[in-house]
Amino acid sequence: MTNIEKKESGALCPTFSGVAEGDRANPTKSVEIFLRRFETYLEIKGIIPPSDENDQQARQRYERQRVGLLKAALKDKAAAWVYSLPEDTQHSYENVLRELQAAYGIDVLEAYTSFKGRKLKSEDNVDSFVALLRHDLHICLPVVTTDALLKLQLLAGLPSGSNAKVQALARDSAETSLDQLVLTVREQMRAARVDSSTTQGRRESGPGKQAAGGAERSVGAASPSNYHKPTAMIDRRPVTLLSALGPSLKPITREARFKLPSCDVLEEYVGDQVMRVTLEAPDCWAQRDTIQEGQKASAVYQWTVGWEWKVGERQDQEEEPPHIPGPKEIPGLLDTLTDDEFKDLSNELQSWVDKGWLVKVEPADEEKVRAVLPIVPVISIHRSTTARPTLNFKRVNSRSVQAADPYAASCPASLRAWRRYDNGILLDISKAYPSLHINKQQSWYQCIYIRFNGRHEPGQLYRLVKLGFGHASAPRLLKMTLDYILGPDEDTSTIVKESHKHPIYPVPRHLKYFDDILVPIGREETREQAQHNAEVIRSLLADNKLITKPPQPLDEARLLGLVIKRDGQGKLWWSRRSPSKTLVSFRELLLSENQAPSAREVSSWLGSLVAHLPVLSWLRPAVAISKRLLGQSIGRDLLKWDQPTEPAIINYCTQLCDELEQRGVPARGLWQLPQAEDLIHCYVDASDIAIACVMTDTANNIIYHTTTLRKVPKGAIKDSSHINTAELESAILGIETSIGLF
């Protein structure tokens, strides 16, 4: 094609930049006339369907050409809208057409109203006027029949906003007869006369959020920033007078879509109020529904959550999910508990039954059980309940989608953010995971076998109807639920935060780490203001059935495994919550005559010694060396993780216990980090074994330190193992640590 031909072809191609609300019915600007002109352009270009319908390559080439030219013909807002659609939608010509018509076109009733409302003026051209009528008629009545015309006029004549109109619009289709539509309207109008309250519709006054750049849709007045078709909450049962007397059915008049750090959000509106919220992530989802509305301004909500199955495990609604086989108990595990621990475990499980979290599985329902999760008691020294039940989700997790979350909560990162404040109020959500309901179908994967009558007596199957702690998606579900209710943390990326705003109420400044929430007290805030902020957050959580424990000041708090106390000079200091005696008690298992602990148990104990503690002195490199020795003893044989640990490593860990007993746990430091503009000192050092970095404030208080073992060279000594290289590595570590600290 010559340059002249290319210019002529480009000049012939129609373009579309979108259309204002008032111009939707204008044929010269409407999306309908653009699409007709574009079809003509395709014919001029010679892009026609392949003659051989079985030629897949030709059909794919035809599809690519026409969808590519269509997208190229779009400009400005229309182009931005189409390119924001999912990739699969963008690659389909029919899908792009449908989305353009939904976003910029007028619906049937609008076209019919325009058709009836056109008036011929004396100065107008008659042929142009008839063309306008044909344009409207083609949209509202492509095939004109008496019944079709009567149906359209019946819909247009119904009272605006009435339940009769909502139901009639929802049931109207090309297959719906005039008599069926009349029956629907008659029943709804009778119901409205019997009880006028059915035309009101319950309003929800929950926290609506309009995101910057969020997608919205209005039924009958679509916006170019929408995504799905307008929908209505419709009772699909046959409409009768009795059914019409029930709760009114509310149409979804608008949708809004935006992103949170860990999920996508879909809000469905009735008027200006949010009716339903859906949070979607690659591996899980959550849905918020209104369960009660009282006299107060805010509603009460309930969250229902679920996870996604891997490909091959996902089931249609008509099919039952597959059964996941496995043992219902870990053999001999209950025998390891003392009598008091078993009693505490049973009492805790009984409280779950009393609260309705556990539902007894009747014999007639046992065939519905899809998985039985073994109970794994967790011994806790600090709690009044010494043995807490956790569930082994290993088999269910292996069948579930597990997607990485780049914004997943990080304990070290959260701890650094919280240490920027020396005053604040701590909130702790009580029973956070059980506050979220699991969807009914997946609750049959959360069945557990409980021996309430004794560890050696027959037990009973129960079904956990709340989110169980242990599923791979549980942390993400809790995080994205709290992010929606309260908004992302202030240390989250600004780009992400700008897409999440609360137009109805401002959420006070706060920091979250799963169920722990810190309401900081800034330099210009008083404790009374912070207490008010904490009560606002507690109220928002309570509206979502997330109940918090009584607020606690930061200087008396236990958070993230630490104990915070204020000294006589007013400075906050942190220390490890677990005493040395608890950590050293592992020595009894190390010296057990029956069998040495497994490598997995030793690795878990070593990890608990270090955890996320910011200052640990000599213990950090000592633990790092033991973990390296343990890893070398296992190599690539993963089965060794569950086998007894080698004697040399047992001896090393025993010596480590002796040192802890003599020296104590070196985990203590100043709580508050210096401000970003304050001076800090960074010391680095290196040896053949490790590199280290220590950071102090101007008073020489250690605020953070880290140690990293160097890689062991294989074979001959390499340049990378030279001590000068190690010193350079330690300097780099110091720079990276300084940047990461603030």
Q: What is the pLDDT of residues 579-620, one digit of tens each?
A: 777 788 888 888 887 778 888 889 988 988 888 889 988 999
The pLDDT-based confidence of 150 (bands split at 50, 70, 90) is: low
Q: For residues 222 and 665, which has the higher predicted lDDT (pLDDT)?
A: 665
Share of the chain above pLDDT 90, in %: 22
- 72-81, 98-107, 204-213, 360-369, range with the lowest pLDDT: 204-213
| pLDDT tens-digit series, residues 24-38 | 556 556 777 788 788
Q: For residues 740 and 179, which has the higher predicted lDDT (pLDDT)?
A: 740
Share of the chain above pLDDT 70, in %: 70
pLDDT exceeds 70 at position 89: yes
Report the alpha-carbon distance of residue 721 to residue 425 in Å, rounded.
48
Query: What average pLDDT does this structure show over 68-96?
Result: 80
pLDDT exceeds 50 at position 398: yes
Q: For residues 608 and 741, which has the higher predicted lDDT (pLDDT)?
A: 608
Bridge partners of 288, per DSSP, are 277, 303
Q: Angle between the 3-12 and 31-45 helix axes, to the nearest 10 degrees? A: 150
| pLDDT tens-digit series, residues 272-323 | 778 889 999 999 999 998 876 555 555 788 999 999 988 764 444 434 457 8
Q: Are 699 and 615 a contacting pair, CB within 8 Å? A: no
- What pTM was estimated for this model as a whole? 0.62
pLDDT exceeds 80 at position 204: no
Q: How many beta carbons lie within 10 A of that of residue 736, not counting itself?
A: 12
Pairing of strands 215-216, 284-292: unpaired
Task: List b or e across 513-552, with b for residues whose CB sees 16 or more CB atoms inside 10 angstroms.
Answer: bbbbbbbbbeeebeeeebeebbebbbebbebbebebeebb
Q: Determine the pLDDT at residue 9.
A: 55
Query: What average pLDDT does this structure show over 84-96?
Result: 79
Q: Determine the pLDDT at residue 246.
A: 35
Report the alpha-carbon distance of residue 369 to residue 445 in Å, rounded.
7
- Of 307, 447, 309, the C-alpha closest to 365 is 447
Cα-trace Rg, the chain: 33
Query: What average pLDDT does this structure show over 124-135?
Result: 67
pLDDT exceeds 60 at position 491: no
272-281 CB contacts, 8 Å cutoff, 24+ apart: 272/208, 273/203, 273/204, 273/205, 273/206, 273/208, 274/204, 274/206, 274/207, 274/208, 274/209, 275/204, 275/233, 275/250, 277/484, 279/480, 279/481, 279/484, 281/403, 281/405, 281/473, 281/476, 281/480
Q: Count Cβ atoms within 10 A of the Cβ of residue 265 and give its class: 0-12 exposed, 13-18 middle, 19 or more buried.
A: buried
| pLDDT tens-digit series, residues 2-54 | 554 545 555 678 887 776 555 555 655 677 778 878 888 888 878 888 877 77
Angle at 732 between CA 729 and CA 735, to 5 degrees: 155
Q: Determine the pLDDT at residue 488.
A: 78
pLDDT exceeds 90 at position 434: yes
Residue with tokens 């043992």: 327
Q: How far is CA 36 from the centre of its chain?
A: 42
Pairing of strands 437-438, 300-307: parallel
The pLDDT-based confidence of 256 (bands split at 50, 70, 90) is: confident
149: enclosing H helix or E strand: helix 146-157
Q: Determine the pLDDT at residue 341.
A: 86
Mean pLDDT of the chain: 77
| pLDDT tens-digit series, residues 401-429 | 888 888 888 888 888 888 888 889 999 99
pLDDT exceeds 80 at position 730: yes
DSSP structure string for 317-373: TTSPPPP----SS-TTTGGGS-HHHHHHHHHHHHHHHHTTSEEE--GGGGGG---BP
Report the alpha-carbon distance of residue 302 to residue 208 in Å, rounded.
16
pLDDT exceeds 70 at position 399: yes
Per-residue tokens: 454:
């004794």
Query: What average pLDDT does this structure show over 193-219?
Result: 38
Q: Is 733 helix (H, G, I), strand (E, B) or coil?
A: helix
Residue with tokens 């989608």: 401
Q: Is 659 helix (H, G, I), strand (E, B) or coil?
A: helix
Per-residue tokens: 66:
């026409």
pLDDT exceeds 80 at position 167: no
The pLDDT-based confidence of 110 (bands split at 50, 70, 90) is: low
Query: What average pLDDT does this structure show over 69-91?
Result: 79
